[in-house]
Amino acid sequence: MSLGKLVRGRLERAIAPLVDALASLGVTPNQLTLYGLALTGLAMISYNLGSLGLLLAGILLAVGGFLDVLDGVMARRHGMSTPAGAFIDSFADRLSDTMIALGFLFSGLVSPLVVMLMLSSSMLVSYARARGEGLQVRVAGVGVGERGVRLLIIIAATFTAYFQPIALSISALTITIVSAITVVERTWHILKSLSSSQSLGT
């Protein structure tokens, strides 16, 4: 079992009681997704509020990210997974990535070029998965820069930027590099899987 799967398994077991309690109150995965998206929107605005705004943005992103974890666990644990829910979750993630990039831009601490590189490379990671799985290739878990990893980097850098503003630029460049590596990894995985399938078919 990979380290990522081991960590996710332990995390899901740890938050299971909270997930069960929320489900018993009638909370749905889609609601958690939208709450998380709203918090990310507030974080985007907070980046423009100076040093204290960075701390607030970090807190909002951390809580929003936690809600994003909860929605997936709830959907799987309570049999609430639906195609519509999967679409909403994926679309909300892309909106969140865009709002975070705009937040970096609004902060005035990251150049527009670096923000564009961070966002475009992150989107390519997501596109590679969506296109690969559309071709019946399982891509989840492939690559070093899944969204959870990128979000952790962003949250840590946002808090650090309160003391060292350059941390935001460093994190944006780091995400760009990690995302580019992930795109290569996923592209190779998809092409290899498709080639294998074609060989088996012939």
pLDDT per residue rounded down to tens, the chain (202 residues): 444 566 677 888 899 999 999 999 999 999 999 999 999 999 999 999 999 999 999 999 999 999 999 999 999 999 999 999 999 999 999 999 999 999 999 999 999 999 999 999 999 999 999 999 999 999 988 999 999 999 999 999 999 999 999 999 999 999 999 999 999 999 999 999 999 876 655 4
Domain boundaries, the chain: 3-195
> Is CATH 1.20.120.1760 the classification given to domain 3-195?
yes
pLDDT of residue 199: 64
**Burial of 2: CB neighbours in 10 Å, binned 0-12, 13-18, 19+:** exposed
Query: Does the active-site annotation cover 97?
Result: no
Going from the C-alpha of 165 to that of each of 108, 142, 160, 161, 162, the distances in angstroms are: 10, 32, 7, 4, 6
pLDDT of residue 12: 83
Q: Which of 68, 71, 89, 93 is catalytic?
A: 93
Going from the C-alpha of 96 to that of each of 19, 23, 60, 193, the distances in angstroms are: 22, 24, 12, 30
pLDDT of residue 1: 43
pLDDT of residue 18: 94
pTM value? 0.91
CA distance 12 to 194: 32
Neighbours of 102 (CB within 10 A): 17
pLDDT of residue 3: 45
